[in-house]
Amino acid sequence: MTKILIAEDDDHTRDALSEVLSMEGHEVIAASDGLQAVDFFRAESPDLICLDVMMPGLNGYEVCRQIRKQDEKVPILFLTAKAEEIDTVLGLELGADDYMTKPFGVKEIIARIRAILRRTAMRSGAGTKDAEETFTMDDLRIVPSELRAYRDKQEIQLSPRDVKLLRLLHDRRGKVINRNTLADEVWGVDFFPESRALDQHISQLRKRVEKDPSQPRIIRTVHGAGYRYE
């Protein structure tokens, strides 16, 4: 599970980002100011940082400087309401991996974070292990390190939670996996989604990974019991 630190002083933005990224399957740590962000970074060693520029205590640029003194590789995504070119240049010169201006859409930031994590995985050498990590379900090829699946020339974007769910079904092929097991293995034992939320997630995933969602071959429902991949 990817651990993401969100440093944002606006309560609404911070809570919304935390919810979205948690639903994507990431572990989220939320800081409300720059000083707290530095403390959380040292204590938690996150895999990625979403860093607001204008924060009390320490601004995002100073937080970035302090982080880069300790870790030159952890990816940093700057978030700011400022759109001036000088801010973009300054942020990137300090060692940020990317830069987003507010307001931004949910799909946009998710796509940006996935892209950063893919690049980070390639730099760390994870891309050389594709042959070991890749698995196939029916005619779908899933590449966890890319958070993608492929069917012929079609490319399908996946979240970490999507990959976990598909991997679980793949590894237990032919066996029925009940909702309790899915909740524990995919969402984590500390979070038990209502069965409706779980079913909705699977319904949305089917629309992306099944050739015909009305006749699923990858995620099949076993009524009253759970789900199965044959």
Query: Smallest Cα–Cα separation from 52: which of 40, 64, 42?
Result: 64
For residue 51, give Cα distances in angstroms to 85, 136, 143, 154.
Answer: 18, 36, 28, 33
What the chain holds in terms of domains, given with CATH numbers, is 3-123 (3.40.50.2300), 129-228 (1.10.10.10)
pLDDT per residue over 159-210, tens digit each?
878 888 999 999 999 999 998 888 777 766 555 555 567 787 888 899 999 9
CA distance 31 to 18: 11
Measured N-to-C along each axis, helices 34-44 and 60-70 cross at an angle, to the nearest 10 degrees, of: 20
pTM of model > 0.85: no
pLDDT per residue over 100-150, tens digit each?
888 888 888 988 888 888 777 765 554 444 435 899 999 999 998 888 899
